[in-house]
Structure 1
Amino acid sequence: MIDDIKSDAEQRMKKCIESLEHSFRKIRTGRAHPAILDGITVPYYGMDTPLKQVASINVEDARTLVVSPFEKSLAPAVEKAIMASDLGLNPASNGDVIRVPMPMLTEANRKELVKQAKADAEATRVQIRNARRDANNDIKELLREKELSEDEAKGGENAIQKLTDQFVAEVDEHLKAKENDLMSI
């Protein structure tokens, strides 16, 4: 039973880390990366469709993305969607291909992005601690129902705490790497 609780908590914590990695990919650095445009949707036949489903996104050079809509008629809508996003990007279209230059980050921008990364990391730590709390509550419930001895419950709680410490350390590593990435010129 404790193994089931522990594996469930571990799965929840892994999902938290995946979510953090996904949100970190959306924080733009000075370099071009196709994942920056992941959250953008384009109106396509009356439905908002993710950009990567209606266009190919490639890196032209270290500071420029090239977006090629699969249908030429979508180019203005794609350009408009990129401009309307809160990413601060200014696409330039030459008909069927849209170039998205990555603006240089100022020191103030970099510090704001680091703050955002820290906030995302803290939210992930909270989610991990919530998973720990839920697992510990499950263990306490089993203890109350006399399905576990106190020693087994204590051992289970210790195992959950070690798991929590491991995942929180992983969050810290991701944050440190992202900070270094943002602050490097």
Structure 2
Amino acid sequence: MEDEIDFIIDGAKEAMTDALNHLEKQFANIRAGKASPAMLGSVMVDYYGSQTPLSQVANVSTPDGMTIAIQPWERGMIPEIERGIHLANIGFNPMNNGESVIISVPPLTEERRRDLAKQSKAAAEEAKIGVRNDRKNANNDIKNLDISEDLQKSLEEDVQEMTDAHIKKIDEILAKKEKEIMTV
């Protein structure tokens, strides 16, 4: 019986942590003013007939806060990299100098900053919903166990404390991201 309880609690904790990790990955793709290699995370390049992530065909770096430099491992990949960036539709206009691809990241407008903040709030809300669903699933599993009401109540309180801690962490991550987005 103890193993089943541990399995339910550990499963809920792992699922809630996964929701947090997913949120952080989503936030890495939301641009916050300064250039970052993560901004090109969704770019796929046609590499000898197969779609390959940009990071596997080139070195992506940020020499300064407003520029992304892409140094392909094969010079012949430059047109494919440019095509991949255009197809990803992330709002960047790549330029090449014959040896590398350079992207100038334009500064964000106030309106775009507000849109990104809304997008961040929506992603955080999705993460909270995921955590609450994990709580519901854990509580249902606890109710299906053949245990005393006192133990059941105690376990549900533990799950609620875990849920509250994860939701607080989501709020902290969101506040940090909003501050990053709104800072000019």
TM over 0.5: yes
TM-score, normalised via structure 1 length: 0.95
Q: Which residue of 1 aligns with 2:108?
A: 105
Deviations 1:5-64 (A, max 9, x none): 111111111111110000000001110111111111111111110110011001111110
Q: 1:183: Cα distance to partner?
A: 0.2
Report the identity percentage: 40
The alignment's TM-score, normalised by the length of structure 2, stands at: 0.96
CA distance in 2, matches of 1:137, 1:47: 44
CA distance in 2, matches of 1:17, 1:140: 26
1:37 aligns with 2:40: yes
SS at match of 1:78: helix
**Which whole-Å CA distance do the structure 2 matches of 1:137 and 1:70 have between them?**
52
Q: Give the CA deviation at 1:83.
A: 2.0
Aligned length: 181
Q: Does the alignment pair 1:84 with 2:83?
A: no
Q: Matches of residues 108-119 of structure 1 in structure 2 within 5 Å? A: 108-119=111-122
Asked if the contact 2:44/2:88 (under 8 Å) is kept, the reply is no
User: Structure 2: any 5+ residue segments left out of the alignment?
Assistant: none
Partner residue, 2:178: 179
Amino acid at match of 1:35: A
- Return the alpha-carbon distance in structure 1 between the equivalents of residues 129 and 92 of structure 2: 31
Q: In structure 1, give the amino acid aligned to 2:155.
A: G
Q: Distance in 2 between matches of 1:178 and 1:170?
A: 12
Question: How big is the alpha-carbon RMSD for the aligned residues of Structure 1 and Structure 2?
Answer: 0.8
Structure 2 CA distance for aligned equivalents of residues 93 and 130 of structure 1: 47
81-90 or 16-25, which deviates more: 81-90
Shift in Å at residue 81 of structure 1?
1.0
- The amino acid across from 1:168 in the alignment is I
For residues 174 and 134 of structure 2, what CA distance do their matches in structure 1 show? Answer: 20
Match status 1:66 vs 2:69:
yes
Distance in structure 2 (CA, Å) of the matches to 1:157 and 1:95: 62
How many angstroms does 1:163 deviate by?
A: 0.3
Determine the C-alpha separation between the residues in 2 that align with 1:174 and 1:86: 27
Residue 131 of structure 1 and its aligned partner are, at CA, apart by: 0.6
